[in-house]
Each structure stands twice: as structure tokens, then as C-alpha cells.
Structure 1
Amino acid sequence: MTYETSQTPAATAADGQVAPSGHRLGWNKVPEVTVFFWIIKVLCTTVGETAADLLNEKAGLGLTGVSVLMSALLAVVLVVQFRTTAYRAGVYWLAVALISVVGTLISDNLTDNMGVPLETSTTVFAVVLAIVFVVWYRRERTLSIHHIDTPSRESYYWLAVLFTFALGTAAGDLVSERMALGYWLSALLFGLAIAAVALAHFKLGLDAVWSFWIAYILTRPLGASIGDYLSQPTGDGGLGLGTVVTSAVFLTVILALVVYLSVTRKDVTDPQRTARHAA
């Protein structure tokens, strides 16, 4: 699926032009939205769920300690990401994988440690994400991921990504608990929701940017449901593979795909095509 192909009016990514925020535009810092993007995104969300559970169970640091550790690692990787001058598959997807874990831990901390109801956390994350989008658009006049070409836009992008993971975790847990569907039925439900978004975009003309972000949010509970189904004990409705095996398998697949993309560069945005779309 490729949602983010049409563009909203905005400054181009060509050298020498200037964004509304006043920063000079450079190379786009995120990948082209291809089938590889969505596969790796779902795999990262699955790893985010299973790795968060694994670290909480095995690290001996407690939920808060694991959250602090993973947040520190994420901060380091984001510094590296911001210092790159163009999209680098390895750095970008490592940041996504870590932000998936951190987003899951934020939601879990609110629910398990602070006793915040899932209805409340889901609402709060939705509101915060909406605020990020509003401020981002008011300052940059676009939410398109084809224009993540200034430090300002990249900051808004990663804030949005973080809160999509937190929102997807809380909303997914809320749906699973309230509807009691079980893991694989939950995965089917969220898969159908993503298919409905794709249908609305390709057949009914739903805006490409909003189609992308809605699907991006929905992939989080989809991946979490898949991860729980594979890793949880058979008595709890899972296949019983465990968090170690599930995390290792998915991390191996992610690594293989990222290496493939690093070599082939099939997900690198063509700046000339981006400029034509933005014109």
C-alpha cells in the first residue's frame, strides 16, 4: 500500500528553497512509502510490544527503569538521526523500533503504575497528537512525509510518530479489553480497518496525508495483536512462542529488510519527483 503519493501544497525539497519556518530545505529524511515501509512498520510495532514485555520481565529494572533506559537509548539514536543529512535506512528504522518500545512503555506505565484508565490515556494521547498535527501544519503548511527536510519538520514528525505509538497502544488495549476478541480476532479487526482506509483513499478520494497517518496509527494495535498472539501462552489464547523467540524472529526479518533497502535504495525518495508533486 502506498498512501502518501499525492502532495499538499508546500515548499519543495529542492536545494536553495526555504520552508515557511525559515529553514533551508535539504534532503528528505524519511523513506518513500512503499510496501516495504508498511511491512517493516508492522514488524517494528510487533517488536515494540514483545520487546517491552521481554525487557519488563527479564531486565530486573521494573517498568519505570526499563522506560528510562529505553528512552535514553532512543534519545541517542534520535540525535544520530537528526545529524544525518539524508535518509539512512539503518538509523531511521532503529529509531522507529525504539520509539515503538518507548511508546508502548509510556502507555503501560500510565495504566499499570499510575492506574490511569485506558479511556483517559487514549483520549489524552489523541488530543496531544491532534495538537502536534495542528501546530505542525500551522508552522509548516504541510503534514506530508515527503517534506521532512528541515530540523523543525523532523521534530514534529518524530513527536507525531511517538504519540501515534502511544495512542495505538492505549486504543488497541482498550478495544481488546472491552470487546474481548482475543489476539487473532483483534489483529483481523485492525487489519480490516487499515483495508477500509486504503479503500477510502484509492476509491473514495480520502486525502493521502490523512490516509497515511490514520493507517500509521492503526498499524500499532495490529502489530501488538500479532505479537501477543505469537508470544503469549496457549492458555491465554496465544501460540506460546514466548517473547524471546518472537522478538528475535521479527528483529531478524527487520534487519534483513533494512539491509536489503540500504543496498538497493528502493525506498529513497526521488527529490525531483517530490519537487514536481509539491509544485
Structure 2
Amino acid sequence: MTTPTTAVTAQGAMGSRLLNKVPEVTVWFWIIKILCTTVGESLADYINTTLGFGLTNTMLLFTAVFAVVLTIQFRTKRYNPFPYWLTVVVVSVTGTLYTDMLTDQQHVPLWLSSTVFSVLLALVFGVWWLRERTLSIHSITTFPREAFYWLAVLVTFALGTATGDWTLELTNWTPAQSVFVPLGLIASITALWKFGANPVLSFWLAYILTRPLGANIGDWLASPKVATSPGEPVGLGLGTFTTSLIFLGAILATVIYLSVSRRDVAEAHETTHEQSVTTDARKERIALGAFGLIAAATVALMIWAHNQPHVTCDPTGQSETMPACPKAALSSSQTAAAVAKYQKLTQTAIAQDQAGTAAASHATVQKMRDDWDADATSLQAVNKTTWTLLDNQMDAVLKAYAIDHGNIQPAPAAEQKQQLNVLLGDLKRHRF
């Protein structure tokens, strides 16, 4: 999809001598954009989960990297494929992590985060339009317009992540099945754009939808062939590392090709002097009505899929998109085995601290946290008072390790060991 431009205001035309800072919207633009969104999903999962870096640490890392690459992008005088697409890759990961932080750490419902990001995006576009009188990416020729552009891009990635995950939560579709919804919507938008729909509106709608499309493709490629628990996604089993590597390689090859061929760079005169485009107001109104019908049909499809019989909770308590299933109280032998498991994990972490292997101790505490969360409802059903006491001390241990506690720094090893010893004593002293 390419987007005809609208007339530039006198303020925008005279406010800067920069050439356009974004590529021409050709088929290459959409190919590499989808590649970037797939990397955003798989690379974030790989660093956060597979490497055990943790969601908070991964989010902080990519926020810092985003600030660096965005500074580099701002300092360029015209569109350059390498810094531009590097920024898109990084912002795709960062936007994904912001939504994951809200969902997994703050337990914000996906419908709420989708609503919040939608309102935020509307505000960004509203202020952008009021100040610049254009939302066309063919007019990114001043610093304010570029700032609005990247802010909008960041919010679209976060919004696309939230709506994509919300779709999976509502429908319980597999990633492979979920690909067809954004793909069909993008095809419909393209057809309406060709008919005469507003080009800027068409562009941004398609841009938002590439996020769930790329994420679903990434999940389909990376997810195991057999579900690890009911409701978990299944796919081709390539893993997040292999998927990230494949798509990063494809992005690099495409960027190199575009750098050499300059297929996505317009002539200087065309990028700095936008031409007025005569549009058909009648066709735009018809297309706008069609957009409304498509939105209504999509909502109806979601409602229908949600009402179909499917797994609505996760018995393991580890799903990212479904609530944990209620669990029955453990038997006395099962409770004793669970307590013994946590005693052993605590002793292992203490031994690892004493040996000076901080990374191993951190990984052990993370596993203890995951198991504790999975066993929570069953242990509460046995004795909620004892569980609450132990849960408070478990939280003190997690805080010492800076796990699930925002921006705080890990405590010294001595304090970590002290909190672990208190937890070990509580596990031995208090009975369920």
C-alpha cells in the first residue's frame, strides 16, 4: 500500500530543511515492517523467558536502547535505512514489553490496556493534527513531526500487542488461526484504499494491524508443537531464538538491499515538496462507512468465537493469556511434598549464594516464585493463614533479588541469604 500525500502547511514547509525522515511506503515497507513486528514478539520472549533476564530488566534494557537508537535516528538529516529500521526493531520490542509489563506484572486486563492505548493513540494523533495539520508520513521533515511519528509508532506497537493478546484470550485460537484476522483486515483496508479511502487513515489502520499479524506469525513459528499446558499456543516448534535469528537475518538482508538499490527512497524534490492531491469526497465517505461495517463484523466474529466451547482457564497457572483454574486443596502428603520442595529450593539458593554464583541463585529463586504462584490456590485451600505468612516472606525474598519489584536494585548477597534463611525457618516451623 502506498499513500498519496496531502498538502503541507506553510509552517511545515518552511520549518526545516530536512529531507523526509521515513521511507517511501512501498511493498518493501510492509514486508520489513511485518518482519520487525515478528522480531518484537520473539526476541522479547527469548530475552525475558529463555535467558531468564526477567520482564522488568528486559523492559528497562530496551527502553535504554530505544533512547539511544532514537537519538541516532533524530540526528540523521534524511531517511537512512539502517538507523531507521533499527529503531523500528527496537521500538517493536519495547512496545511489546510495555504491554507485557501491564499484563503480567500489574495484572491490568487486556481489554483495559487495549482501551487505554487506543485513547492514548487518539490523543497523539489529535495533538499532532492540531499542531501540524497533517498526519501523513510523507511530511516527516521537521523535528516535531518526527517526534510525533515515533511516539505514534511506539503506541501502535503497544496497542497491537494488547489487542492481539486480547483476541487470543477471547477466542482461544491458535497463533496460526489468529493470523487470518489481521491479514484479512489488512487486505480489506488495502482494497478500500484502492477504491478511494482516505490514504492517511488507511495507512495507520494497516500499520496498527501489522503488529498482531507479526506477533501471531512469531508465536506460530516459535511455539512448541505440543501444548505445554491446556490453552497454551502450539506451532512449528522453532523456538524464540531460532525465530528471532531468522527474522533478524531477513531484516538485515532487506535493509542491505534497500541501501544499495534505494528502492524506498524518493527523489529529493518529491520528498521536500509535497503535492496537493485531489480526492473524491464521496468515495471517502463510502469507504469510511465500509470501515465501520468491517469493525462491526470483526466485533461480531470475536463475540461468536468467545462463545464457542473452549478452555477458559489454565490448570498450571502459568498462561500469559488465561486465568488460573481453581484448584482443590492438596492432600496431607501432597502438602508435605510441596513444602519439602520449597525447602530444597531455598537451601539450593543459599548454597549458590555461598558459592558466589549469583546468577544461579537468582534463577533458583525465580523457579521458586513460579512454582509458588502455580501452587498458590491449592495451598491457600489447605490453610490460608499459613500460606499468607509464607507468601509475605516469599515476597521479601523476591524483593531482595529485585524480582517482580519494579526498578529496585538487588540487595547485597548477605541480605539475600538472610531473607532465604528466614523463609527456610518459616517453612520448617509453620505447618499447613
Asked if these proteins are the same fold (TM beyond 0.5), I'd say yes
Give the C-alpha shift of residue 59 in structure 1: 3.7
Correspondence for 1:213: 204
Q: Classify 1:37/1:153 alpha carbon distance in 2 versus 1 (closer, same or farther; 3 Å).
A: same
Q: How many angstroms apart in 2 are the aligned matches of 1:278 and 1:252?
A: 39
Correspondence for 2:16: 24
Q: How many angstroms apart in 2 are the aligned matches of 1:157 and 1:240?
A: 36
Correspondence for 2:82: 90
Give the C-alpha shift of residue 240 in structure 1: 0.4
Pairs within 5 Å for 1:60-209: 60-203=52-195, 205-209=196-200
Q: How many angstroms apart in 1 are the aligned matches of 2:31 and 2:165?
A: 22
Identify the range of structure 1 (90-99 vs 23-32) with the bigger mean alpha-carbon deviation.
23-32
Correspondence for 1:262: 259
Extract unaligned runs of 5+ from structure 2: 228-233, 278-432
Equivalent residue letter for 1:251: L
8 Å CA contact retained: 2:43, 2:93: yes
Q: Which whole-Å deviations, capped at 9, do the CAs of 1:28-69 have from their partners, x for residues lacking one?
A: 000000111000000000000000000102443310010000
Q: Which whole-Å deviations, capped at 9, do the CAs of 1:218-255 have from their partners, x for residues lacking one?
A: 00000000000000001132110000111000100100
Correspondence for 2:323: none
Equivalent of residue 225 in structure 2, options 220, 230, 234: 234
The question of 1:52 aligning with 2:52 is answered: no
Give the C-alpha shift of residue 272 in structure 1: 2.3
Q: How many angstroms apart in 1 are the aligned matches of 2:201 and 2:190?
A: 11
Q: How many angstroms apart in 2 are the aligned matches of 1:101 and 1:51?
A: 7
Correspondence for 1:10: 8
8 Å CA contact retained: 1:183, 1:225: yes
8 Å CA contact retained: 1:18, 1:24: no
Equivalent of residue 275 in structure 2, options 261, 273, 277: 277
Equivalent of residue 41 in structure 1, options 33, 38, 46: 33
Equivalent residue letter for 1:228: D
Give the C-alpha shift of residue 276 in structure 1: 4.8
Q: How many angstroms apart in 1 are the aligned matches of 2:37 and 2:6?
A: 28
**SS of the residue aligned with 2:12?**
coil
Q: Which whole-Å deviations, capped at 9, do the CAs of 1:198-233 have from their partners, x for residues lacking one?
A: 011112x21000100000000000000000000000
Q: Classify 1:183/1:42 alpha carbon distance in 2 versus 1 (closer, same or farther; 3 Å).
A: same
8 Å CA contact retained: 1:29, 1:87: yes
8 Å CA contact retained: 1:125, 1:166: yes
Correspondence for 1:222: 213
8 Å CA contact retained: 2:66, 2:90: yes
- Tell me the number of residue pairs that the alignment of Structure 1 and Structure 2 aligns: 270
Give the C-alpha shift of residue 139 in structure 1: 0.3
Correspondence for 1:14: none
What fraction of aligned residue pairs are identical, expressed as a percent? 52
Q: For the pair shown, which has the larger CA radius of gyration, 1 or 2?
A: 2
User: Which contiguous aligned blocks of 4+ residues in structure 1 show a shift greater than 4 angstroms?
Assistant: none
Give the C-alpha shift of residue 179 in structure 1: 1.2
Q: Classify 1:276/1:113 alpha carbon distance in 2 versus 1 (closer, same or farther; 3 Å).
A: closer
Q: Classify 1:220/1:57 alpha carbon distance in 2 versus 1 (closer, same or farther; 3 Å).
A: same
Give the C-alpha shift of residue 9 in structure 1: 2.1
Q: How many angstroms apart in 1 are the aligned matches of 2:206 and 2:245?
A: 26
Q: How many angstroms apart in 2 are the aligned matches of 1:133 and 1:113?
A: 28
Identify the range of structure 1 (50-59 vs 62-71) with the bigger mean alpha-carbon deviation.
50-59
8 Å CA contact retained: 1:70, 1:102: yes
8 Å CA contact retained: 1:18, 1:25: no
Equivalent residue letter for 1:208: P
8 Å CA contact retained: 1:107, 1:121: yes
